[in-house]
């Protein structure tokens, strides 16, 4: 198997109601859970429209109706898996609209048994059609199978990440891949990957997981089918990534995948300094990672810093409702 190959079984898994006890139990056992319909059809359409407004508003000449204008020199900077972490996306109207859906908070509130939550200022994964330009195909899963929680710096249960899916998934296009139950391996990583871990600062919550790990041999990766409007939640210890599917160059000349990354954690886990920075981030249109208990500025990611960011216009400063301000802190 070459380094970047990863075969995942495309699977229809149970879809739970936001806030249900069953959804929390499934998450605890499997390390992931699908929450059905956190956005309805109309809300999903609005979310996609706002996503295009963000892209067109960058001022680089992107036109939603002309895929030939979606070229790298106009597209926002994308990192692994087509994730756009910066250019103000974390404070865009699209992201605020999606993360403010009541069912998104219900889902996280039941996980934490706490409804005083702060939301991440995350980005989105937007996949352009490789049928137009093969180079737009995103990284194959095996190249970035990972967990988002340092095994020593953050032991035990610490965070649940999520994505709101805006376009129904298919085996051909691909999408998120995860390894059910792999959150239970987290405690053993320190012992099994001592040398690798020694090179990673305990404050960096990203660990590339070897796809040939023998403990994964009996639990094949899955790619969950998601309807438009579904929320996928996973424990940050669950081994995951995304990958193009079986026919990535075969799709129509339109956006192939659009997901909004979203994460909520209890306000009680944060502190006054982090909250102050979060409040300032709204006006500055700064994006973050999934964590809201620490301050991590996604505009300072090396790939973002290395790029020519002057050409991008930031989205307008969002006017937040009381509900949204409470999610800032
Ligand atoms: O796009 C995806 O499904 C993967 C997202 C991911 O790996 C992450 O947010 O850590």
With a 6 Å cutoff on the Cβ, whether 148 touches ligand 1 is: yes
pLDDT score for 285:
97
Round to whole Å and give the CA distance between 149 and 156: 9
* Ligand 1 centroid from CA 176, angstroms: 7
Q: Which atom of ligand 1 is nearest to the CA of 122?
A: 9
Sheet holding 174-178, edge to edge: 9-11, 222-224, 174-178, 240-244, 146-147, 207-208
Q: Domains in the chain, start-ordered, CATH in brackets?
A: 9-328 (2.60.120.620)
Say if residue 6's pLDDT is above 90.
no
Say if residue 3's pLDDT is above 80.
no
178: phi then psi, degrees, rounded to nearest 5:
-145, 165
Instruction: For ligand 1, atom 9, name the residue with the nearest CA.
Output: 261
pLDDT score for 176:
98
Q: At what angle do helices 21-30 and 102-112 cross, to 10 degrees?
A: 60
pLDDT tens per residue, range 115-140:
999 999 999 999 999 999 999 999 99
Instruction: For ligand 1, atom 8, name the residue with the nearest CA.
Output: 241
Say if residue 1's pLDDT is above 60.
no
Q: Which two tokens stand for residue 13?
A: 């898994």
Round to whole Å and give the CA distance between 268 and 271: 7
Q: Mean per-residue pLDDT for 304-321?
A: 93
pLDDT score for 260:
98
Say if residue 64's pLDDT is above 70.
yes
Q: Which pLDDT band, with edges at 50, 70 and 90, does 225 fall under?
A: very high
Q: Which residues of 110-144 are buried (b: 16+ CB within 10 A; e: fewer)?
A: bbbeeeebbbbbbbbbbbbbbbbeeebbbbbbbbb
Instruction: For ligand 1, atom 10, name the residue with the nearest CA.
Output: 148
pLDDT score for 2:
46
Global pTM reads 0.97
pLDDT score for 65:
97
Say if residue 313's pLDDT is above 80.
yes
CA separation, residue 266 to residues 81, 107, 271 (Å): 28, 13, 11
CA atoms within 13 A on the CB side of 241: 27
Tell me which of 80, 81, 82, 161 to substitute to probe ligand 1's pocket, judged by most ligand atoms within 8 Å of the beta carbon: 81
Q: Which atom of ligand 1 is nearest to the CA of 290?
A: 9
With a 6 Å cutoff on the Cβ, whether 125 touches ligand 1 is: yes
Tell me which of 125, 144, 149, 160 to substitute to probe ligand 1's pocket, judged by most ligand atoms within 8 Å of the beta carbon: 125
pLDDT score for 308:
85
Q: Mean per-residue pLDDT for 237-263?
A: 96
Secondary structure string (H, E, C) spanning the chain: CCCCCCCCEEECCCEECCCCHHHHHHHHHHCEEEECCCCCHHHHHHHHHHHHHHHHHCCCCCCCCCHHHCCCCCCCCCCHHHEECCCCHHHCHHHHHHHCCHHHHHHHHHHHCCCCEEECCCCEEEECCCCCCHHHCCCCHHHCCEECCCCCCCCCCCCEEEEEECCCCCCCCEEEEECCCHHHHHHHHHHHCHHHHHCCCCCCCCEECCCCCHHHCCCCCEEECCCCCCEEEEECCCCEEEEECCCCCCCCCCCCEEEEEECEEEHHHCCHHHHHHHHHHHHHCCCECCCCCCCCEHHHCHHHHHCCCCCCCCCCCCCCCHHHHHHHC
Asked whether the beta carbons of 59 and 40 are under 8 A apart, the reply is no
pLDDT score for 217:
86
pLDDT score for 159:
98
Q: Mean per-residue pLDDT for 36-62?
A: 98
Q: Mean per-residue pLDDT for 15-43?
A: 98
pLDDT score for 289:
96
Percentage of the chain beyond pLDDT 70 is 99
Q: Which pLDDT band, with edges at 50, 70 and 90, does 148 fall under?
A: very high
pLDDT score for 36:
98
Instruction: For ligand 1, atom 3, name the residue with the nearest CA.
Output: 176
3: phi then psi, degrees, rounded to nearest 5:
-55, -35
pLDDT score for 14:
98
With a 6 Å cutoff on the Cβ, whether 233 touches ligand 1 is: no
Say if residue 281's pLDDT is above 90.
yes
* Range with the poorest average pLDDT among 30-39, 52-61, 210-219: 210-219
pLDDT score for 5:
74
* Ligand 1 centroid from CA 169, angstroms: 15
pLDDT score for 290:
97
Mean pLDDT, the chain, whole residue set: 95
* Ligand 1 centroid from CA 122, angstroms: 11
pLDDT score for 309:
87
């Amino acid at each position: 198997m070459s380094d970047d190959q990863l075969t995942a079984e495309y699977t229809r898994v149970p879809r739970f109601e936001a806030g249900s006890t069953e959804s929390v139990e499934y998450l605890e056992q499997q390390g992931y859970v699908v929450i059905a319909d956190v956005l309805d059809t109309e809300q999903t359409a609005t979310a996609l429209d706002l996503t295009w407004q963000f892209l067109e508003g960058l001022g680089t000449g992107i036109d939603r109706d002309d895929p030939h204008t979606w070229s790298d020199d106009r597209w926002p900077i994308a990192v692994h898996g087509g994730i756009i972490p910066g250019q103000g996306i974390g404070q865009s109207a699209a992201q605020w609209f999606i993360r403010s859906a009541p069912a998104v908070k219900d889902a996280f509130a039941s996980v934490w048994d706490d409804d005083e939550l702060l939301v991440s200022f995350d980005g989105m994964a937007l996949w352009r059609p490789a049928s137009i330009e093969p180079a737009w195909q995103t990284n194959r899963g095996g190249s970035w199978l990972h967990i988002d929680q340092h095994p020593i710096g953050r032991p035990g249960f610490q965070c649940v990440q999520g994505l709101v899916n805006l376009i129904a998934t298919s085996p051909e296009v691909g999408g998120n891949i995860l390894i059910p139950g792999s959150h239970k391996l987290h405690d053993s990583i320190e012992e099994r990957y001592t040398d690798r871990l020694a090179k990673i600062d305990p404050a960096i919550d990203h660990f590339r997981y070897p796809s040939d790990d023998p403990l994964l041999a009996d639990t094949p990766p899955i790619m969950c089918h998601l309807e438009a409007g579904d929320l996928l939640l996973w424990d940050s210890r669950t081994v995951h990534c995304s990958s193009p599917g079986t026919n990535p160059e075969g799709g129509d000349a339109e956006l192939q995948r659009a997901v909004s990354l979203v994460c909520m954690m209890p306000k009680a886990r944060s502190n006054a300094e982090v909250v102050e920075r979060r409040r300032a981030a709204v006006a500055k249109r700064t994006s973050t990672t999934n964590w809201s208990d620490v301050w991590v500025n996604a505009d300072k990611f090396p790939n973002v810093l290395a790029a020519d960011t002057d050409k991008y216009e930031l989205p307008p400063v969002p006017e937040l409702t009381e509900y949204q301000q409470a999610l800032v802190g």
